[in-house]
């Protein structure tokens, strides 16, 4: 039930119009207004983006050229000088927003903290100066491995302020995953915390950093800045590790923002592909600032009276664009929550909405399914009347979950924006504008102005309405990734040559299957490659398989996703063992734990099945399609003629 099949969406005919009062007060008020903006942007994208860049952002120096497009490499606003930390902080200080709440943070144990724009600016400047003292300079890469505390946002903004490139590594990733990313980026420093609170327990972080740096595995890392959060004993290495609370009072709060080139790198964020190691997705300053800013403003219809809450983690792109940069660039008040709903406090999300009068709530289908399971008594027992807009991201939302969200949380009065986008796109690409576009449960609706999206076949030919095909984007946009860190070829191959360019015209290949209905609405069906989507997080099959194979007992492994009611997909691993190992329950436990240690708990397989051999094609490719059917308990469908050895499949069926 977790993924939307073409058949079920075809029957989905419910249509929800924005409430009239919502539209009247909205930034974009009607379908006609959306369509006219869209048409203007389509006719002249460069002029459209240039006008917005001029009116929405502060530039130290205006650009010379709006777009320099040498496919597949785009440069936006070349010659322009800008700093995103300035746009998120300094420019608000000369307005009444100076003393407006920028971040309202709620810790899992119940502690809380509010930082106004002036206070946030002060702390960012201090951390920026601390980084300088640690020897971090413009262009250096800094790893950020943090719990969801204000200092995570402060660290990102401090890096941006001095022109250091940040790479945030999700706090749930293991020491090994952290080490790979720090080494790949040749990080100069790491910002971390002793630990964070999640599900009533301390998630230790500093100790993982120590492990990642062991044996000089990342020789470029010179120093580690440690924020005190959970206060358990940790080791501090003299000459390398520095406590934030010790250095903070000694550094100046005066740190002017560096004037960055629009195309200077802002951050690298690693994401999974189907093959090879995670890719470092590169985003640069000016275009990303504009794109995250304007999508936040129009899609979340932000006003100064809003209290906006995005429940993502800063370790993912959603946290980058829609907790930190987009909301702060708009001068919004954003909530940040350290924890998640858990058995000891199943109503915590609704308590926070009531406590702070949250007006805009942006979460993921996997979270919505957890809320559904916990029962509607929990939200019903709280006052959620402050809410006026809801959002979802991360995977296709099944219409049942959409309807529950609409009825129980939105009380049938809040529009829902189902936002389709990716780490690579920098910001939301396909979504309703809540005052303008009527919604259909399960559809991300229409493209954002300036985004020319199409459903095509593998030759790049557009497909008629309701035919399933590949989701592609035809024109560059300011928030697009610029390259794969250190690997232009991989960037070109993965995203721009999958659909062969014709007459020098390139299309961005998103890797998702989708269709467009007769009203032009997009229905995203999910990944067409072997990327898993577990709880809204992308994991490559290859990474999980490599982790399994790194265990001495495992000869070969193939992992697939199996539909899961809560997580969207659960990982099922098919494993062949080296001789001398017995495939028993103890080994299953050990292998699950091993993957958890290698990558992180989210990658831990839900199920491990031992087999004598894996089904392969004659050219030796594992036929994951067959395994996927087996894992889901379905009859194997589709063509099996390319199987090298049919008996493998028969045996696997017997195992079933
Ligand atoms: C999926 C998260 C359907 C999609 C922002 C995409 C979605 C991948 C939606 C990117 C949505 C994200 N409807 N599918 N509203 N949002 N996806 O990089 O498969 O973590 O390619 O970015 O998530 O995941 P990523």
pLDDT tens digits, 346-398:
999 999 999 999 999 999 998 998 999 899 999 999 999 999 999 999 988 98
Is the per-residue pLDDT at 639 higher than 90?
Answer: no
382 marked among binding-site residues: no
Average the pLDDT over 462-475 and give the result: 94
Helices first, then strands: H and E counts in the chain: 23, 30
Distance 531 CA to ligand 1 centre (A): 11
Sign of CA dihedral 545, 549, 553, 557: positive
Residue 512 alpha carbon to ligand 1 centre in Å:
9
The CB of 398 under 6 Å from ligand 1? The reply is: no
Whether ligand 1 lies within 6 angstroms of the CB of 394 is answered as yes
Q: Quick one: pLDDT at residue 398?
A: 84
Residue 136 is labelled as binding a ligand: no
Closest CA to 244 of 189, 202, 315: 189
- Span from the CA of 422 to the centroid of ligand 1 (angstroms): 5
21: Cβ–Cβ under 8 A, 6 or more apart, which residues?
Answer: none
Q: Could you report the per-residue pLDDT of 448-460, keeping only the tens digit for each?
A: 999 999 999 989 9
Q: Specify the pLDDT at position 135.
A: 98
**Candidates 296, 366, 538: which one to mutate for ligand 1, based on the most atoms within 8 Å of Cβ?**
538
Ligand-binding site membership of 421 (annotated): yes
Predicted local distance difference test score (pLDDT) of residue 644: 75
363 among the known binding-site residues? no
- For position 353, what pLDDT does the model report? 98
How far apart are the CA of 444 and the centre of ligand 1, in A? 11
Angle CA(433)–CA(438)–CA(443) in degrees, nearest 5?
85
Ligand 1 nearest atom to the CA of residue 430, by list position:
15
Question: Comparing C-alpha atoms, which of 80, 449, 37 is closest to residue 287?
Answer: 80
Q: Is 85 annotated as a binding residue?
A: no
210 is in an annotated binding site: no
Q: Give the pLDDT score at 619.
A: 66
Q: What's the first-to-final CA gap in the chain, in angstroms?
A: 21
Q: Write out the H or E segment, with its range, that includes residue 52.
A: helix 45-56
Q: Is residue 541 in contact with ligand 1, taking CB distance under 6 Å?
A: no
Residue 454 Cβ inside 6 Å of ligand 1? The answer reads no
Question: In terms of Cα–Cα distance, which of 141, 91, 82, 139 is closest to 261?
Answer: 82
In the predicted model, is pLDDT for residue 335 greater than 50?
yes
Task: Give the C-alpha separation, 51 to 504, whole Å.
Answer: 27
Query: Can you read off the two tokens belonging to residue 385?
Result: 């009347």
What separation in Å is there between the alpha carbon of 580 and the centre of ligand 1?
42
Paired sense of beta strands 554-564 and 389-392, if any: unpaired
Q: Is 394 annotated as a binding residue?
A: yes
Distances (CA, A) of 119 to 253, 356, 357, 532, 554: 10, 19, 22, 40, 53
Does 132 sit in the ligand 1 pocket, CB within 6 Å? no
261 φ, ψ to 5°?
-65, 145
What is the domain partition of the chain in residue ranges? 535-653
pLDDT of 6 strictly over 60: no
Q: What is the per-residue pLDDT across 286-298, written as a single tens digit (0 to 9) for each?
A: 999 999 999 999 9
Q: What is the DSSP letter of 413?
A: T
Ligand 1 closest atom vs CA 316? 20
Q: How far is CA 613 from CA 353, 460, 541, 554, in A?
A: 52, 37, 18, 12
Pick the range with the lowest mean pLDDT from 29-33, 48-52, 79-83, 652-656: 652-656
Closest CA to 584 of 616, 615, 609: 609
pLDDT confidence of residue 656: 45
pLDDT at residue 275, as a whole number = 65
* pLDDT for the residue 352: 98
- Token duo for residue 556: 């070969």
Say if residue 7's pLDDT is above 50.
Answer: no
What does the block give as tokens for 296?
Answer: 């936040």
Q: Is 419 in the pocket of ligand 1 (CB under 6 A)?
A: yes
**Dist CA 378 CA 557 (whole Å):** 42
Q: DSSP character for 258?
A: P
Query: Would you say 422 is a known binding-site residue?
Result: yes
Task: DSSP for 493-560, please give it.
Answer: IIIISSS--BTTB--EEEEEEEEE-TTS-EEEEEESSSEEEETTEEEEHHHHHHHHHTSTTEEEEEEE
Q: How confident is the model at residue 274 (pLDDT cuts 50, 70, 90)?
A: low
Dihedral, CA of residue 292, residue 63, residue 139 and residue 537, to nearest 10: 20
Say if ligand 1 is within 6 A of residue 90 CB.
no
Nearest CA to ligand 1 atom 13: 396
| Portion of the chain with pLDDT greater than 90, in percent | 82
Residue with tokens 């992180």: 600
On whether 638 is known to bind a ligand per the annotation, the reply is: no
Residue 5 has pLDDT above 70, yes or no: no
pLDDT in tens, 481-507: 999 999 999 999 999 999 999 888 999
- Please tell me whether 418 is known to bind a ligand: yes
Ligand 1 pocket: which of 296, 421, 526 to mutate (most atoms within 8 A of CB): 421
Could you report the per-residue pLDDT of 23-70, keeping only the tens digit for each?
999 999 999 999 999 999 999 999 999 999 999 999 999 999 999 999
Residue 583 buriedness (CB in 10 A; 0-12 / 13-18 / 19+): middle
627 lines ligand 1 (CB under 6 A): no
- Which pLDDT score, from 0 to 100, does residue 640 have? 74
8 A C-beta contact, residue 448 and residue 442: no
- Distance between CA 573 and CA 412 in Å, rounded? 41
In short, whether 364's Cβ falls inside 6 Å of ligand 1 is no
CA distance 477 to 428: 11
Choose which residue among 524, 525, 569 to substitute to test ligand 1 binding: the one with the highest number of ligand atoms within 8 A of its C-beta.
524
Residue nearest to ligand 1 atom 14, measured at CA: 395
Cβ atoms of residues 203 and 345 within 8 Å: no
The answer to whether 297 is a known ligand-binding residue is: no
Kind and range of the H or E element at 286? helix 285-299
Place of tokens 């998630």: 203
Q: How far is the CA of 535 from the centre of ligand 1 (A)?
A: 11
Q: Rounded to the nearest whole angstrom, what is the distance from the C-alpha of residue 566 to the centroid of ligand 1?
A: 16
CA distance 499 to 528: 14
CB burial of residue 545 (10 Å; 0-12, 13-18, 19+): buried
Ligand 1 pocket check for 418: Cβ under 6 Å: yes
Give pLDDT tens digits for 12-34.
789 999 999 999 999 999 999 99
pLDDT, position 143 = 98
What pLDDT score does 621 carry? 72
Q: Is the CB–ligand 1 distance for residue 391 below 6 Å?
A: no
The Å distance, Cα 372 to ligand 1 centre, comes to 21
Q: Are strands 141-145 and 189-193 parallel, antiparallel or unpaired?
A: parallel
Query: Is 515 among the annotated ligand-binding positions?
Result: no
d(CA 536, CA 511): 16
Is 538 a known ligand-binding residue? yes
| Cis status, amide bond into 318, omega within 30 of 0 | no
Q: Which CATH architecture has domain 535-653?
A: 2-Layer Sandwich (3.30)
pLDDT band at 542 (very low <50, low <70, confident <90, very high): confident
| pLDDT at position 230 over 50 | yes
| Interval 418-449: pLDDT, tens | 999 999 999 999 999 999 999 999 999 999 99
The arithmetic mean of pLDDT across residues 514-523, rounded, is 95
SS3 181: helix
Q: Which residues lie below 8 Å from residue 439, measured CB to CB, with a gap of 6+?
A: 15, 16, 415, 416, 417, 418, 432, 445
Cα–ligand 1 centroid distance for 393 (angstroms): 7
CA atoms within 13 Å, Cβ hemisphere of 618: 3
Measured CA to CA, the distance from residue 438 to residue 445 in angstroms comes to 8
Find out whether the beta carbon of 526 lies less than 6 Å from any atom of ligand 1.
Answer: yes
Q: What is the mean pLDDT of the chain?
A: 93
Give per-residue pLDDT as tens, 103-154: 999 999 999 999 999 999 999 999 999 999 999 999 999 999 999 999 999 9
Please state the length of the chain.
Answer: 656
DSSP letter for 447, please.
B
Would you state the structure tokens that stand for residue 16, as one six-digit string?
């929800």
Ligand 1 centroid–CA 446 distance in Å is 15
Quick check: CB of 289 below 6 Å from ligand 1? no
| Distance, CA of 552 to chain centre | 33
Closest-CA residue, ligand 1 atom 15, reads: 420
Q: How far apart are CA 61 and CA 84, in angstroms?
A: 14
pLDDT of residue 368: 94
Give pLDDT, residue 4: 30
Residue 508 confidence (pLDDT) above 60: yes
Among candidates 84, 454, 146, 147, which has minimal Cα distance to 285? 84
- 563 with 2: CB under 8 angstroms? yes
Helix, strand, coil % in the chain, rounded to nearest 5 = 35, 25, 40
User: Which residue CA neighbors atom 8 of ligand 1 most closely?
Assistant: 422
């Amino acid at each position: 039930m977790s993924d939307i099949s073409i058949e079920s969406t075809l029957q989905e005919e419910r249509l929800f119009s924005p409430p009239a009062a919502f539209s009247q007060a909205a930034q974009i008020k009607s379908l006609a207004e959306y369509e006219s903006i869209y048409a203007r942007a389509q006719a002249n994208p460069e002029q459209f983006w240039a006008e917005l860049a001029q009116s929405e952002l502060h530039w130290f120096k205006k650009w010379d050229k709006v777009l320099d497009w040498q496919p597949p490499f785009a440069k936006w606003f070349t010659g322009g000088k800008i700093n995103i930390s300035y746009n998120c902080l300094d420019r608000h200080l000369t307005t009444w927003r100076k003393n407006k709440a920028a971040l309202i943070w709620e810790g899992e144990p119940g502690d809380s903290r509010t930082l106004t724009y002036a206070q946030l600016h002060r702390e960012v400047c201090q951390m920026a100066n601390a980084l300088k003292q640690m020897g971090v300079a413009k262009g250096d890469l800094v790893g950020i491995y943090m719990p969801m505390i204000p200092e995570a946002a402060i660290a990102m903004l401090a890096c941006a302020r001095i022109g250091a490139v940040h790479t945030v590594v999700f706090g749930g990733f293991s020491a090994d995953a952290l080490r790979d990313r720090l080494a790949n980026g040749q990080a100069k420093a790491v910002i971390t915390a002793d630990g964070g609170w999640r599900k009533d327990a301390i998630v230790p972080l500093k100790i993982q950093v120590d492990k990642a740096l062991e044996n000089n595995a990342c020789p470029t890392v010179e120093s580690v800045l440690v924020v005190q959060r959970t206060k358990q004993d940790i080791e501090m290495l003299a000459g390398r590790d520095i406590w934030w609370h010790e250095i903070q009072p000694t550094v100046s709060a005066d740190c002017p923002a560096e004037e960055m080139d629009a195309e200077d790198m802002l951050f690298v964020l690693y994401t999974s592909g189907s093959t090879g190691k995670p890719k470092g997705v590169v985003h640069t300053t000016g275009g990303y600032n504009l794109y995250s800013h304007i999508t936040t403003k129009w899609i979340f219809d932000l006003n100064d009276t809003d209290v906006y809450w995005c429940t993502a983690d800063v370790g993912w792109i959603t946290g980058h664009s829609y907790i930190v940069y987009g909301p702060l660039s708009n001068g919004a008040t954003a909530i940040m929550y350290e924890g998640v709903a858990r058995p000891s406090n199943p109503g915590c999300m609704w308590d926070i909405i009531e406590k702070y009068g949250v007006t805009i709530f942006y979460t993921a289908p996997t979270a919505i399914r957890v809320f559904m399971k916990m029962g509607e008594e929990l939200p019903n027992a709280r006052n959620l009347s402050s809410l006026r807009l809801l959002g979802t991201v991360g995977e296709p939302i099944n219409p049942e979950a959409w309807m529950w969200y609409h009825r129980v949380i939105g009380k049938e009065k809040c529009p829902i924006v189902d936002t389709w986008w990716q780490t690579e796109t920098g910001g939301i690409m396909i979504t309703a504008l809540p005052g303008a576009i009527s919604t259909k449960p399960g559809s991300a609706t229409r493209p954002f102005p300036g985004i020319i999206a199409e459903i095509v076949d593998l030759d790049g030919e557009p497909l008629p309405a309701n035919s399933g095909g590949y989701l592609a984007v035809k024109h560059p946009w300011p928030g697009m990734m610029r390259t794969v860190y250190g690997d232009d070829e991989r960037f070109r191959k993965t995203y721009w040559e999958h659909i062969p360019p014709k007459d020098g015209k390139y299309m961005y290949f998103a890797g998702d299957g989708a269709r467009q209905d007769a009203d032009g609405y997009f229905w995203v069906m999910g990944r067409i490659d072997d990327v898993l989507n577990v709880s809204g997080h992308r994991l490559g099959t290859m990474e999980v398989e490599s982790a399994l194979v790194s265990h001495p007992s495992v000869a070969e492994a193939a992992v697939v996703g199996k539909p899961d009611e809560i997580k969207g997909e659960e990982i099922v691993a098919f494993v062949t063992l080296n001789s001398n190992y017995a495939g028993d329950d103890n080994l299953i436990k050990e292998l699950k734990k091993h993957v958890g240690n290698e990558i992180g708990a989210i990658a831990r397989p839900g199920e491990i099945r031992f087999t004598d051999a894996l089904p392969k094609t004659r050219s030796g490719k594992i036929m994951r399609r067959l395994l996927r059917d087996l894992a889901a308990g379905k009859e194997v469908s589709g063509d099996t003629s390319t199987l090298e050895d049919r008996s493998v499949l028969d045996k696997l069926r017997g195992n079933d």
